[in-house]
């Protein structure tokens, strides 16, 4: 089976790229070595950025974040909780940053409101009562796996094949172009071959391994961000420390838990992320300055994700990792790579990467994902199109005690069907 495009990587960037290209009419196969969303994207902190965090230091990223924040709410309301967010000044040094922060918000046009600290504490009773200044911003919480499964299911319904357990292990390059992608099929242990006119690499911290196989010289330094999950939800809103961006500056309500993030630790291997007790103590200590009760509740677990620094030809390292960068390689000439990006801007990354791919394929079709409603936005209506007994099982959550928790269960079930159907259609079963 030949495809127009093989997308490598099943995180937020790869998924949105697959959806975008499929909606433009291309035949697409997405190759993911593990499970959809099983890498960095499934280990993010849960924040759908308002852009406020970048308003001072990176206005371009701030503008992208606030725009995509609004787009994603419309595309996938089921995967977003509109919590709102507070930026809170705790110390005198934090307070000195307030004016600069407000100026930054105004410059990038992020809606915000200064809140009287007493009012903020009434709204958020677990907030540090000595908080000195509070600014409200439109931060939201995004349920990562719900969103990614919805994108994968949508892309598949539009015609894309979504291959899980499909690890790229090499490229057959001839005449300066990738002719075939060699894929290890982790389900059977065999090696498969995939042919595509264009190869789009969106493999996050594993990008350097993928492009190296195509003979591209690349250097990479992974950094690990640790998140700690606590037993209780302590706030209604996302609570950010009002200071220059640094480690330990965000606490999120995520379902019934709270998540504190993040550290910035240099590691050697993106597959080996050792989390230390010191990381957990540090995050708890920083978080408890904003919400003192955090120091008294149990830690449920800690997890980590990786953000890489990548250096290769055509990349301005500084620009690329500030935001994201699409690189069309000279050799192989039919390969294009995206590096950087944030979970919040995943759709935009997919659009820009797809623009480049479309150019390579001689197409002028534009992206339509901005106004696209993802599968799951009206979950129980969307289920009508499914076959029995899948529909019957998935629909059984509706109206019952587990309707909310059932959403991710249903999406997981459907994701499994997508993976199975993709294998059948590509002939790997």
Partner 1 sequence: MPNLRYNGSFNIAKPPSEVFNRLTDLSFIARCIPNVASYELMGESRARVRFMVDLGEEVPIAELRRITADSTIEVVEAKGNSVKYRVNGRAAGSQIEVSLTLTIEPVSDGSRVNWSAETSLGRLLQLMSRFVNIDSMVGRIANDTVNGITKCLQ
SS3 39: coil
Q: Candidates 23-31, 154-162, 304-312, 383-391: pick the segment binding partner 1 (CB under 8 A).
A: 304-312
Q: Of 288, 13, 237, which is closest to residue 135 (Cα–Cα)?
A: 237
Q: Return the number of the residue (95 or 417) whose C-beta is nearest partner 1.
A: 95
Exposure string for 355-374, b = 16+ CB within 10 A, e = fewer: bbbbebbebeeebebeebeb
The footprint of partner 1 on residues 205-224 (CB under 8 A) is 219, 221, 223-224
What is the smallest separation between the CB atom of 283 and partner 1, expressed in angstroms?
10
Question: In angstroms, rounded to a whole number, what is the distance separating the alpha carbons of residues 221 and 165?
Answer: 25
Task: Tell me: does residue 266 bind partner 1 (CB under 8 A).
Answer: yes
Q: Among 51-59, 116-124, 198-206, 230-238, which window interacts with partner 1 (CB under 8 A)?
A: 51-59
Task: Tell which one of 233, 282, 412, 416 touches partner 1 (CB under 8 A).
Answer: 282
Applying CB under 8 A, among 67, 95, 177, 247 the residue interacting with partner 1 is 247
Of residues 245, 331, 370, 391, which one binds partner 1 by CB under 8 A?
A: 245
**Identity of the residue, 63 or 386, whose beta carbon is nearer to partner 1 in the bound complex:** 63
Q: Are 250 and 261 in contact (CB under 8 A)?
A: yes
- CB of 5 or CB of 203, closer to partner 1: 203
| DSSP strands (E only) in 41-176 | 47-48, 80-81, 85-89, 113-115, 133-137, 140-142, 161-163, 166-174
Residues 193, 171: contact at Cβ < 8 Å?
A: no
DSSP code, position 236: S
The answer to whether 411 touches 383, Cβ cutoff 8 Å, is no
DSSP string, 166-193: EEEEEEEEETTEEEEEEEEETTTS-EEE
Residue 189 has a CB neighbour count (10 Å cut-off) of 7
Q: What tokens were used for 241?
A: 């420390």
Q: Is 361 in the site for partner 1 (CB under 8 A)?
A: no
Rounded to 5°, angle at Cα 379 from 374 and 384: 105
Applying CB under 8 A, does 370 fall inside the site for partner 1? Answer: no
**The one segment of 17-25, 119-127, 143-151, 238-246 that binds partner 1 by CB under 8 A:** 238-246
* Among the listed residues 355, 384, 404, the one whose alpha carbon sits nearest the alpha carbon of residue 23: 355
Q: At what angle do helices 144-157 and 12-23 cross, to 10 degrees?
A: 30
Among 92, 113, 318, 384, binds partner 1 (CB under 8 A): 318
Contacting partner 1 within 83-122 (CB under 8 A): 93
The residues near 74 (Cβ < 8 Å, ≥ 6 apart) are: 371, 373
Applying CB under 8 A, among 14, 51, 117, 225 the residue interacting with partner 1 is 225
Give the nearest distance from C-beta 223 to partner 1 in angstroms: 6
Binding mask 52-71 for partner 1 (x = CB under 8 A): --x--xx-------------
Q: 3-state secondary structure string, 87-101?
A: EEECCHHHHHHHHHH
187 binding partner 1? (CB under 8 A): no
Residue 344 is encoded by which pair of tokens? Answer: 């919040």
Interface pick for partner 1 out of 35, 63, 280, 309 (rule CB under 8 A): 309
Q: Which residue has the tokens 């998935």?
A: 394
From 71-79, 259-267, 404-412, 418-426, span contacting partner 1 (CB under 8 A) = 259-267
Query: Measured between alpha carbons, how far is 193 from 213 in angstroms, rounded to an integer?
Result: 15
| Token pair of 141 as six digits | 């919480």
Residue 98 or 325 having the CB closest to partner 1: 325
Shortest distance, CB of residue 201 to partner 1, whole angstroms?
A: 19
CB-based contact 224:80 (threshold 8 Å): no
Interaction between residue 322 and partner 1 (CB under 8 A): yes
Binding partner 1 (rule: CB under 8 A), the pick from 126, 240, 321, 367 is: 321
Does position 244 interact with partner 1 (CB under 8 A)? The reply is yes
- Least separation, in Å, of the C-beta of 93 and partner 1? 7
Task: Give the one residue of 82, 111, 119, 278 binding partner 1; rule: CB under 8 A.
Answer: 278
Closest CA to 27 of 160, 118, 143, 129: 160
Is residue 317 close enough to count as binding partner 1 by CB under 8 A? Answer: yes
Q: How far is the CB of 179 from partner 1 (least distance, A)?
A: 33
CB nearer to partner 1: give 267 or 280.
267
Is residue 246 a contact point for partner 1 (CB under 8 A)? yes
Applying CB under 8 A, among 157, 184, 232, 311 the residue interacting with partner 1 is 311
Determine the Cα angle at 298 with ends 402 and 125, to 5°: 80
Residues that bind partner 1 (CB under 8 A): 54, 57-58, 93, 219, 221, 223-225, 244-248, 262-268, 278, 282, 286, 307, 309, 311, 317-318, 320-322
């Amino acid at each position: 089976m030949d495809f127009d495009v093989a997308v490598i990587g099943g995180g937020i960037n790869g998924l949105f790229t697959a959806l975008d290209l499929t909606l433009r009419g291309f035949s697409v196969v997405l190759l993911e070595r593990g499970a959809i969303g099983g890498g960095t994207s499934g280990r993010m902190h849960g924040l759908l950025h308002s852009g406020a965090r970048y308003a001072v230091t990176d206005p371009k990223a701030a503008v992208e974040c606030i725009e995509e924040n609004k787009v994603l709410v419309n595309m996938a309301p089921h995967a977003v909780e509109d919590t709102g967010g507070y930026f809170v000044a705790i110390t005198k040094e934090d307070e000195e940053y307030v004016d600069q922060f407000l100026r930054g918000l105004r410059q990038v046009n992020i809606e915000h409101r200064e809140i009287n600290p007493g009012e903020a504490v009434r709204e958020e009773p677990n907030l540090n009562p000595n908080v000195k200044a509070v600014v409200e911003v439109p931060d939201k919480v995004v349920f990562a796996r719900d969103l990614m499964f919805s994108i994968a299911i949508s892309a598949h319904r539009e015609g894309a094949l979504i291959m899980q357990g499909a690890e790229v292990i090499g490229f057959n390059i001839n005449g300066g172009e990738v002719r075939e992608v060699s894929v290890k099929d982790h389900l059977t242990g065999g090696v498969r071959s995939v042919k595509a006119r264009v190869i789009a690499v969106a493999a996050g911290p594993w990008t350097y391994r993928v492009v190296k196989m195509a003979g591209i010289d690349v250097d990479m330094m992974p950094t690990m961000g640790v998140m700690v999950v606590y037993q209780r939800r302590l706030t209604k809103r996302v609570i950010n420390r009002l200071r220059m961006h640094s480690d330990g500056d965000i606490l999120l309500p995520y379902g019934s838990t709270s998540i504190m993030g993040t550290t910035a630790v240099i590691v050697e291997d993106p597959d080996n992320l050792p989390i230390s007790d010191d990381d957990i103590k540090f995050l708890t200590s920083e978080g408890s300055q904003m919400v003192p009760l955090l120091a008294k509740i149990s830690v449920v677990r800690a997890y980590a994700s990786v953000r890489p620094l990548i250096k290769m030809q055509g990349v301005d390292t500084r620009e690329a990792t500030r935001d994201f960068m699409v690189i069309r390689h000279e050799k192989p000439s039919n390969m294009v790579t995206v590096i950087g990006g944030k979970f919040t801007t995943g759709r935009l990354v997919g659009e820009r990467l797809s623009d480049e791919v479309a150019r390579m394929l001689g197409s002028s079709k534009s992206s339509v994902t901005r106004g696209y409603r993802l599968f799951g936005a009206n979950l129980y209506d969307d289920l009508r199109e499914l076959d029995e007994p899948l529909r019957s099982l998935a629909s059984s959550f509706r109206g019952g005690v587990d309707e909310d928790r059932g959403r991710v269960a249903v999406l997981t079930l459907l994701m499994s069907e997508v993976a199975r159907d993709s294998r059948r259609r590509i002939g790997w079963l």
